[in-house]
Amino acid sequence: MLTHSKRIFVSNRLPFTANTKTQTLTRGSGGLVSALLGVNLEESFYWMGFETDSASARLLAEKSHEIQKNLICHPVLLSKEIYDTYYDGISNDLLWPLFHYETQLAVFNRENWDVYRQANAVMAEEILKVANEGDTVWIHDFHFLLLPKMLKEKNPHIKIGFFLHIPFPAAEIFRQLPVREEILRSLTACDLVGFHEHSYLRHFISCMKAFLGVDSTLFKAEVGNHTLNLGVYPISIDTEEFKRKAESPKVEKLSQSYRTQGTGQFKLLGIDRLDYTKGLELKLKGFQKALRMYPELVGKVSLLQVAVPTRLKVPLYGEIKKNLDQLVGAINGEFGTPDYVPVQYIFKSISEETLLALYRRADATLVTSKRDGMNLVAMEYVIAQDIQTPGVLILSEFTGAASLLPDALIINPWDAEMVAKSIHRSFTMPLEEKRQRMHNLQQTLMRYSASAWAEGFLADLEQHDAMIKKDCQT
């Protein structure tokens, strides 16, 4: 990369939220922030994202470099009304469910789509004020599906990369979208489009063929006189830093105190946003099945589930929570005793230190997503483990992480018996096997951090004539 050219990351929100009363910034939670702030880019980079409050925008622009020296936050103001329609009406009510195969939850409304297009156009205009010929714009996620074409039409000499953090669905699902051609035409204007997993890339290729008639190899498509490169770039976490924090004396002390608290000597853990894609009810049903199938687990195994609230005002999410509350009550009612509570359930977000201590103390972590682009929780759990006393990762085959981490116990979360058997297996697994599996998992992830992920994508984007197709031969 030429040193004078700029790198600009674009995502829905900036990685910090502003508190104008205290004049402070807090780091946001969520997968994208964890991954991109873990990137060790030496040069300064811009990050552009929407903000609906002008005082917060000012604070973000002024203070973000105090938290991360090489980061220039560039908030883009959008009216609350437009933001809500673009974010809730389209991103969350149409694209999120459809791309996660929840077709019956996807609501399409053409007026809302026009607003989504308008929000993408506002972002395009702001980017074009900053980006010049030769600069790199790296767009993140489904909030900006229409942005690539808008940028390319105005300035064909900006390098445009797009990374999708969620699954790209099969063509038979994608075809449900009335605006499928518009989305594909925009994405094909990129220089590079990346996915977490091979199947997502294959689905994208099938869609280009089915809906645009574009032929491609696995890694390249010629669209008119433009070359679109394609690739698989599984995201990671900041492994070194995460390991360092997990091994700190403070976290160790906290995890020791958790170990002796609560009920059930074998501790299962779940950390998820309370979203229908994460399969929380499947996890609880699997745990219930385990207690029914294996009475020897009763009194000995407990599950601590942290469900982080999201989209509280949306009725559907209220229903998910209600179901979950009922299931927790049913399991605790069926198997609980005065000194044994099978499910401990926390409906709030927890501090990073608590999260690390919980990872470290858990004998097994259960990820039961119905669909999940990657799932960083699985990776964080692996890296947080002490190899002398490791836990077991139980991981849904419907996560992108499953193809990277075959030494986990891979489950179909819809199969409650299979979930139950894997819980039992983690409980009875000999220490040597646990160590071997965890060693293999840690080796895979320690070779591949978030910075390697980002640098790999950026290198391919910036020198896309000499694309290196690593890890993509299968």
Whether 13 and 28 have beta carbons less than 8 Å apart is answered as: yes
Rounded distance between C-alpha atoms, residue 182 and residue 376, angstroms: 31
Among 5, 24, 29, 216, binds ligand GDG (CB under 6 A): 29
Give the tokens for residue 461: 């984007």
Least separation in angstroms between residue 333's CB and ligand GDG is 27
Residue 52 engages ligand GDG in binding (rule: CB under 6 A): no
Instruction: With contacts defined by CB under 6 A, name the span among 208-216, 312-320, 333-341, 372-380 that binds ligand GDG.
Output: 372-380
Give the pairing type, strands 392-396 and 409-411.
Answer: parallel
Least separation in angstroms between residue 428's CB and ligand GDG is 28
Give the tokens for residue 245: 């924090």
Phi, psi of 379 (to 5 degrees): -70, -40
Least separation in angstroms between residue 166's CB and ligand GDG is 5
Choice between 31 and 152, CB closer to ligand GDG: 31
Q: Angle 234-371-402 (CA atoms, 0-180°, nearest 5)?
A: 45
Site for ligand GDG in 258-277 (CB under 6 A): 271, 273
In DSSP terms, which residues pair with 267 in a beta bridge? Answer: 302
Rounded distance between C-alpha atoms, residue 163 and residue 207, angstroms: 17
Residue 35 engages ligand GDG in binding (rule: CB under 6 A): yes
Site for ligand GDG in 302-341 (CB under 6 A): 306, 308
What single string gives the DSSP state of each residue in 42-77? Answer: SS-EEEEEEES-HHHHHHHHHHHHHHSTTEEEEEEE
Residue 349 engages ligand GDG in binding (rule: CB under 6 A): yes
Rounded distance between C-alpha atoms, residue 83 and residue 89, angstroms: 9
Choice between 6 and 273, CB closer to ligand GDG: 273
Choice between 288 and 375, CB closer to ligand GDG: 375
Least separation in angstroms between residue 35's CB and ligand GDG is 6
Rounded distance between C-alpha atoms, residue 204 and residue 169, angstroms: 8
Instruction: With contacts defined by CB under 6 A, name the span among 30-38, 225-233, 323-331, 389-397 that binds ligand GDG.
Output: 30-38
Give the pairing type, strands 16-19 and 24-27.
Answer: antiparallel
DSSP-derived secondary structure letter, 337: B
Least separation in angstroms between residue 27's CB and ligand GDG is 9
Residue 350 engages ligand GDG in binding (rule: CB under 6 A): yes
Choice between 212 and 308, CB closer to ligand GDG: 308
Terminal CA-CA length for the chain: 29
Choice between 57 and 367, CB closer to ligand GDG: 367
Q: Give the up-direction half-sphere exposure of residue 125: CA atoms within 13 A in the CB hemisphere.
A: 10
Tell me, rounded to whole angstroms, the distance of Cα 416 from its chain centroid: 25
Residue 173 engages ligand GDG in binding (rule: CB under 6 A): no
Choice between 254 and 297, CB closer to ligand GDG: 254
Q: Which residue is nearest to ligand GDG (CB)?
A: 31
Scanning the structure block, which residue is given the tokens 């990776």? 379
Choice between 32 and 301, CB closer to ligand GDG: 32
Tell me, rounded to whole angstroms, the distance of Cα 1 from its chain centroid: 28
Choice between 124 and 193, CB closer to ligand GDG: 193
Instruction: With contacts defined by CB under 6 A, name the span among 57-65, 84-92, 181-189, 368-376 that binds ligand GDG.
Output: 368-376
Least separation in angstroms between residue 49's CB and ligand GDG is 15
Residue 380 engages ligand GDG in binding (rule: CB under 6 A): yes
Among 123, 124, 166, 467, binds ligand GDG (CB under 6 A): 166
Give the pairing type, strands 226-232 and 220-223.
Answer: antiparallel
Q: Count residues binding ligand GDG (CB under 6 A).
A: 24
Give the H/E segment covering residue 188. none
Q: Which residues bind ligand GDG (CB under 6 A)?
A: 29-32, 34-35, 165-166, 235, 271, 273, 306, 308, 349-350, 352, 355, 372-377, 380
